[in-house]
Structure 1
Amino acid sequence: MNYDFDEKINRRGTGSVKWDTYGNEYIPMFIADMDFKPSPQIVAALKDRTAHEVYGYTRPDRLLYETIANWFYQTYHYVLEESWIRLLPGIVPALAVAAHIAPGKAAANTPNYPMLLQGPVRAGKELILSPLKETNDYYEMDFADLEQRLTSDTDIFYLCNPHNPVGRVYQKDELAGLSRFAQDNDLLVIADEIHCELVFDRPHIPFLTVDEYAKQHSITLMSPSKTYNIPGLGMAFAIIPNPDLRKKFAQISYALPHPGFFGLEACKAAYGNSGQWRDELVAYLQSNRDYLEEELTQRFPKAKFTHVEGTYLQWIDFRPYGIKDPHGRLLHEAKIALSDGRDFGLDGYVRLNFGCRRELLAEALQRIGSVIQ
């Protein structure tokens, strides 16, 4: 490897949400950012821009749109027109803004990313929840259940793919099934695909590429922030092929600020020059995933956990150990800060972020093992 993902970096005292929320005795493995430096190309781009020493309003240049379109084609072999792209300061505000694009109710699966579940609700929309179908710790969309729960005025479905927290990377037939279901029920699909490059077992398939209905009736939300570990720079974008839908989204999102110039520069460096760094990162994360699965199986044989196909987030069920609140117990007794399953819609679960150096992951498992036996 050319890049050292085992480097120990002290993030305390930097205002880090991950490392400065709890005390020095805690190992934080909750919020979804990684403990790795971004690619040297991103760092160099930011240093070059900083050296200018004037930080005024900045207009996105043509190169940015070309870079995004080229990256999309190289990654997904699909031609993305630059006019389809609308820049955003982040995906979370877009999840709420998109709820205003249609007047009826919205639907989503559970468990799911908390901000995805909260977005439409905070926008004043009623949200219908349909549990993912779980068989032997493998989750699938349950269209029969969703069909029963939908009302005639439901007009939006929120998709999370790769899925946070269960780690699924949906296959072509599953996404085609969603497109047929959406067409049968006249639904617009809002696709949160922020983890799209962090996949291990199969390529990610953007929903808009599935078929013509998906292309014309979806808003795809993407960002370099998760893959390239730059969430603090505030850079994301929506892909909206349908011109009428794109116009509506522009109207309802007019108050959202544009990304700052640091985010613009980092995006170009990420998608344009950081491919080798990304590939080595994904390989490191996959080795962490495999190590984590082996350790969970050996240390906690009664626990249930998903096989992570994408993301760096492990979904774990500790209920077989008779623990009702594993998040609280591990926080207080093991000094491990995980994400609480209740925030995702399920009691008794935790989400563990393995986007860290292996040594820290091993220490965290040792601490968990001191509490759960």
Structure 2
Amino acid sequence: MFDFDKEITRKGTNCSKWDHQGGNFIPMWVADMDFPLAPPIMDAIQKRLGHPVFGYGGYPEEAAEAVIQHYQEVYGAAVSRDWIVWVPSVMPGANLACRAGGGDMIYNTPMYTHIRRLPKEAGVNVVEVPMREDSLHYTLDFAAMEQAITPDVKVFVNCNPHNPVGRVMTRSELEEIDDFADRHSLLVVSDEIHCELILEGHHIPYFALNEHAEQTSITLSSAGKIGNIPGLPLAFAIIPNKELRKSFQEEACGLFSHPNELAIAAISAAYDGSCKEWKAQLIAYLRQNRNYLEERIRKIPGLHAVHNEATYLCWIDARESGIHDPYTFFRDKAGVRLNDGRDYGKEGFVRLNFGCPRKQLTEALDRMEEAVRKNRYVEMI
């Protein structure tokens, strides 16, 4: 058994989540987990540290083979070696993919903040289309997308599992995306970095959907989330289409240096099967945290939690609380740092990271509940 209740002091480690948040808050924002690494990943890093030289390196075949084996065993998806293109992390890969698409982009809101920065980074225009919200269940609004799209749009950016709403898209939903992309001759860029953090349902890699999706997409992922190693950034793009892969590599030409040796050791261990039991216990713990979080949120007046099918990031609706700016309110009145829904394209919401020991989650929720109840009391007198 692995101890996910163990609290680890992260202050003083140059941690953005704890050391660079602008105050002494309980940090429930940045999307990394407050758990120790899986032992096989730590062992692989320590083994590499045992050699005293860190010279120029390359991408060893064992890392690619681990990824290929993982996709076959977990998703039943065949990946050819030449489909894999290494990138420093998922978002630089998404940037290159959007550039390779050769036109404007479209995506749905709320949407992960860095995806919303991609238009500026890639130097293109964007069409943002709100998702359909039905009792806090989010789906893509294809009718609105048809109305909003322009002839200049060449790229559809998707996030599955979705950050921040925690959806795992079904096969029929992905097929609708494929049909939409086919009608408008779009490249689909699929951010799947949370694909192993499935609490309900089953993840389908976009490229494995069908032959058309395979040939008109770039799928991006890494072990950064499931392995909790975003500080050792290394990711990959799966690009089956040869010409598309060539365009992607041309966009990347000269931008990236040699890979990080410790990141290679970490990602190889994350995908070679040695972390299977740790991952299973992690998912079980996150599922328990999600259930506890939803139970607690139901007791806080005016707050509603979107049900997570995946990820450790909960999208919380504060619109009925009477709190004008929930991000600032919980930071200043509760001492809890969350993510501001406005950064994702949606007012009245906050995002909470429940990838932490239960004690930390409990303290954060206690503070949030007390702050809301005090605020309601003050308004009544």
Does the 8 A contact of 1:105 with 1:156 survive in 2? Answer: yes
Q: Which residue does 2:297 correspond to in 1? A: 296
Q: State the Cα RMSD in Å.
A: 1.0
Q: Which residue does 2:264 correspond to in 1? A: 264
Q: Which residue does 1:212 correspond to in 2? A: 211
- Aligned equivalents of 1:287, 1:107: Cα separation in 2: 35
- Aligned equivalents of 2:209, 2:347: Cα separation in 1: 34
Aligned length: 371
- Aligned equivalents of 1:143, 1:24: Cα separation in 2: 42
Correspondences of 1:32-71 after superposition (within 5 Å): 32-71=31-70
Q: Which residue does 1:319 correspond to in 2? A: 319
Does the 8 A contact of 1:95 with 1:120 survive in 2? Answer: no
Does the 8 A contact of 1:93 with 1:119 survive in 2? Answer: no
Correspondences of 1:112-191 after superposition (within 5 Å): 112-191=111-190
Unpaired runs of 5+ in structure 1?
Answer: none
Does the 8 A contact of 1:89 with 1:258 survive in 2? Answer: no
Does the 8 A contact of 1:156 with 1:189 survive in 2? Answer: yes
Does the 8 A contact of 2:339 with 2:350 survive in 1? Answer: yes
CA gap 1:258/1:186 in 2 versus in 1, 3 angstroms: farther
Q: Deviations over 1:48-98 (max 9, x none)?
A: 101101001111111111111000100100111111000111011122222
Q: Deviations over 1:116-154 (max 9, x none)?
A: 110122221101000000000000011110010000121
Does the 8 A contact of 1:331 with 1:337 survive in 2? Answer: yes
- Aligned equivalents of 1:266, 1:346: Cα separation in 2: 35
SS in 2 for 1:190: strand
- Aligned equivalents of 1:268, 1:22: Cα separation in 2: 31
The list of structure 1 runs, each at least 4 consecutive aligned residues, that deviate by more than 6 angstroms after superposition, is: none
For residue 203 of structure 1, report the CA deviation from its aligned partner: 1.1
For residue 23 of structure 1, report the CA deviation from its aligned partner: 6.3
For residue 258 of structure 1, report the CA deviation from its aligned partner: 4.3
Deviates more, 1:320-329 or 1:91-100: 91-100
SS in 2 for 1:299: coil
- Aligned equivalents of 1:209, 1:123: Cα separation in 2: 27
For residue 159 of structure 1, report the CA deviation from its aligned partner: 0.3
For residue 304 of structure 1, report the CA deviation from its aligned partner: 2.4
CA gap 1:24/1:106 in 2 versus in 1, 3 angstroms: closer
- Aligned equivalents of 2:46, 2:95: Cα separation in 1: 33
Q: Which residue does 2:100 correspond to in 1? A: 101
Q: Which residue does 1:6 correspond to in 2? A: 5
Deviates more, 1:138-147 or 1:316-325: 316-325
Q: Which residue does 1:287 correspond to in 2? A: 288
Percent of matched pairs sharing the same residue = 42
Unpaired runs of 5+ in structure 2?
Answer: 374-381
Q: Which residue does 2:379 correspond to in 1? A: none
Amino acid at match of 1:283: A
- Aligned equivalents of 2:194, 2:259: Cα separation in 1: 19
- Aligned equivalents of 2:242, 2:348: Cα separation in 1: 44
Q: Which residue does 2:370 correspond to in 1? A: 370
Deviates more, 1:161-170 or 1:94-103: 94-103
Q: Deviations over 1:284-305 (max 9, x none)?
A: 00110011011111233x3222
For residue 42 of structure 1, report the CA deviation from its aligned partner: 0.5
